[in-house]
Amino acid sequence: MFDFRKKNQIDFGMVAAEDDPDVEVVRLGRESRQGLWTESLRLLRDVFLIIVVFILFGVFAVQPVVVEGTSMLPQLHDGERLLVNKLVYYKFKSISWGHLDRGDIVVFWYPSDPDKSYVKRIIGLPGETVEVRNGKVYIDGKELNEPYLDTIHNQNLRDNVIKAVDQHYYFVMGDNRDNSSDSRVWGLVPEKYIYGKAFFRYWKPSNVGFLEHGEYDLPEKPKIEDLRAEDEDQ
């Protein structure tokens, strides 16, 4: 009764790419393989760039170090891991991280054997006179307040030490004054031997955090650049 067969309809046939130059022929298998290869190359590129950035960051900016010994007790313990800011080695004076100051915990090559590295705290700056007397430190005759010290590690009072700090040198000491080989024993540290200052402890987990920097009430010493500028004005 009803005839649903398509009658009197024109068969247009298959559409070919040649019929319309704007038709894009997509072969899903080939496209999927090319897409996977492209994404793999992009991933490798990103991983490579990340590795390069971390290497450059480690070479020029931050370096991990391991504390060996107990000369910095109670601040630092044997086996702890620190991050060291290396910008001080390049003397970026315009930023706080780029220069050395009293109270900084620094890592440096031991002057008597540059193959070894020591970690100590900067006590005396260039141009100052440091005196250690009866377990106390005096800078240019004024007593240095050191709240980070523990009296337990500062009981064996050594002989008096008086040392004038030359330009481009620093007087360093360990916080464990009873068990620290430092500037009291072997002298000053050349500025060029200091390759970084520690600022963050990332191991052990119980002590993770930024390191304590000494706060002092001594008057700020004028910088050499300022003194030169004043001389030129006069």
**Residues with active-site annotation:** 71, 120
Distance CA 147, CA 124 (A): 16
Six-digit token string for 69 = 């010994």
Distance CA 174, CA 155 (A): 14
φ, ψ of residue 67 to 5 degrees: the values are: -80, 130
Distance CA 102, CA 125 (A): 7
Which residue, 154, 155, 202, is CA-closest to 176?
A: 154
Q: Which residue has the tokens 């649903």?
A: 4
Q: Which long-range contacts (CB under 8 A, 24 or more apart) does 146-155 make?
A: 146/214, 147/214, 147/215, 148/75, 148/175, 148/212, 148/214, 149/175, 149/177, 150/73, 150/74, 150/175, 153/73, 153/74, 153/177, 153/178, 153/179, 154/178
Q: What is the largest CA-CA distance in the chain?
A: 125
Residues with Cβ < 8 Å from 86, sequence gap 6 or more? 60, 61, 62, 63, 195, 196
